[in-house]
Amino acid sequence: MAEFDVDLFVIGGGSGGVRAARIAAGHGARVMVAEEYRMGGTCVIRGCVPKKLFVLGSHVHFEIADAAGFGWTIPSATFDWRTLVANKDKEIARLEGIYTTNVEKSGAHIVKTRAVFEDPHTLRLATGEALTAKHILIATGSAPNHGQMIPGIEHVISSNEVFHLEELPKRIVIQGGGYIALEFACIFAGFGSDVTVIYRGDNILRGFDEDVRLHVRAEMEREGITVLTGCTVSKVDRHGNEFTSHLTNGSSIASDKVMFAIGRHPNVANLGLEKAGVAINPRNGGIAVDNFSRSSVPHIYAIGDVTHRINLTPVAIREGHAFADTVFGKRPVEVDHATIPTAVFSQPEIGTVGLTEAEARAQFSRVDIYKTDFRPIKSTMSGRDTRILMKLVVDGTTDRVVGCHIVGDTAAEIVQAVAIAVKMKATKADFDATFALHPTAAEELVTMRTPTARYIREAAE
């Protein structure tokens, strides 16, 4: 008789947990996955995928507006929010089915229930059943965080509820300056809502390259989105179906919806972690893990957002795969968290990989900047007042390209390819030796010859 009921018990059926379960099962492990809500996790059910579908839908109004410059006469178009939501729900259900099927095909078993620790090797299911596992993987992700509990916080929605609104709000206030807040600000603006963004800092997109921050804000404001910085919402009053958001600067804003997108916290509550002896990282509130995703308890691991290292779906997937190969494939794999490409599906879109200018100047003694800001070819015919930003950050000593930042249509698609070059430590000379693909916006990445700025930090005496 086996010492444990399963070799691996995975808590959470999101992208990271599913990848770990499938790979571990492929290595011959007996695997069980517990998911209390829906297979697919945040990304598939209430995150990246439905958000991107909304982004694509909201961008149609740009295409309609631009068509006249290319000779098209399009009758007055109408938009139906409920049709969008219904079609999105169908697609998410389809993807959920695929996730479930793929796990089951791998040989892993799914239980649709909550699981919590009773001791380091025992999980108690909500059904009352107890199971023992040789190894346990925590992949419970994260959840929206409303921050300070202000008066009227019960009237505020998060990125969870926003996908299920019955009506498109005519006016919406969104608090937050990160990628989730800005993506939804652009989504609603694209569908015709009056949008106001509230952010406590001096400018949106903290942590991104300064030129990107300035460019995106200018483009958003050009499209009619109001961005108020240096203040926060201190109180929300409800008046029937309308709301008044009171700000710390003394002003107030009326709207049909109020949304907070000010961050996410790891889903560590009520899992019984204290019974298992799993330690929490005091710096970020996530489960503390080493470079192999191992927690303070040697046979318990954690991946993805619940560790609060880097909250990105591809990172969780890579960590889950590496965990399974390490523990069950007998091939130790350590995930390299450097040079991770990221995107913000705002309008305009952002794609970025590597260091910002500020990070490079702090790290290297010599930094060369190549930057261009131009009107895309489409706008010369459509008449749209928009510009593309492209920026390369180069280590001036080695000539290596250490950062790339793009704002404009398909920026994420371009940066995915550029990320390969940056990861391979390509030099600016390598970029220069690459033929341009004309006429494209991306050709600017290989035709920028003259630095727009050079920084030399003198060595301390």
Burial label for 268, CB within 10 Å (0-12, 13-18, 19+), is: buried
Average pLDDT over residues 203-226: 97
Give pTM, 2 decimals: 0.94
Q: pLDDT tens-digit profile of 68-111? A: 999 999 999 999 999 999 999 999 999 999 999 999 999 999 99
Query: CATH code for 348-456?
Result: 3.30.390.30
Q: Taking 70 as the threshold, does the pLDDT of residue 461 lie above it?
A: no
For 232, the 3-state DSSP assignment is: coil
**Which range has the worst mean pLDDT, 136-150, 232-246, 341-355?**
136-150
In terms of Cα–Cα distance, which of 225, 242, 229, 223 is closest to 198?
229
What is 153-262's CATH topology? FAD/NAD(P)-binding domain (3.50.50)
Q: Where in the chain is the domain with CATH 3.50.50.60?
A: 6-144+265-327, 153-262
Q: What is the pLDDT of residue 457?
A: 86
**What distances in angstroms separate CA 94 from CA 97, 161, 215, one per listed residue?**
5, 20, 37
DSSP H or E stretch at residue 234: strand 233-239
State the Cα–Cα distance between residues 419 and 104, nearest whole angstrom.
33
Which stretches does DSSP call E strand in 261-322?
Answer: 264-266, 300-302
Q: Which of the residues 215, 239, 405, 438 is marked catalytic?
A: 438
Region of 140 (left: φ > 0; alpha: ψ -120 to 50; beta: rest) is: alpha
Q: What are phi and psi of 362, to 5 degrees?
A: -75, -25
DSSP sequence for 369-408? EEEEEE--HHHHHH-----EEEEEEEETTT-BEEEEEEES
In terms of Cα–Cα distance, which of 252, 260, 300, 262 is closest to 280?
300
Q: What is the pLDDT of residue 147?
A: 81
What is the 3 state secondary structure string of 108-141?
Answer: CEEECCCEEEEECCEEEECCCCEEEEEEEEECCC
Residue 439: cis peptide before it, omega within 30 degrees of 0: yes
State the Cα–Cα distance between residues 156 and 133, nearest whole angstrom.
40
Q: Taking 50 as the threshold, does the pLDDT of residue 1 lie above it?
A: no
Q: Which residue has the tokens 């990070």?
A: 359
Helices (H) and strands (E) in the chain, counts: 13, 22
Q: What is the pLDDT of residue 2?
A: 67
Q: pLDDT tens-digit profile of 282-300? A: 999 999 999 999 999 999 9
Q: Provide the pLDDT confidence category of residue 459 given band limits of 50, 70 and 90.
A: low
Average pLDDT over residues 197-216: 97
Q: Taking 90 as the threshold, does the pLDDT of residue 277 lie above it?
A: yes
Q: Provide the pLDDT confidence category of residue 383 given band limits of 50, 70 and 90.
A: confident
59 counts as catalytic: no
Mean pLDDT of the chain: 95
Q: Where in the chain is the domain with CATH 3.30.390.30?
A: 348-456
Q: What is the pLDDT of residue 425?
A: 97
In percent, the amount of the chain with pLDDT more than 70 equals: 99
- The dihedral through the CA atoms of 392, 395, 397, 399 has a sign that is negative
When the candidates are 3.50.50.60, 3.10.150.10, 3.20.20.100, 3.30.300.180, the CATH number that belongs to 6-144+265-327 is 3.50.50.60
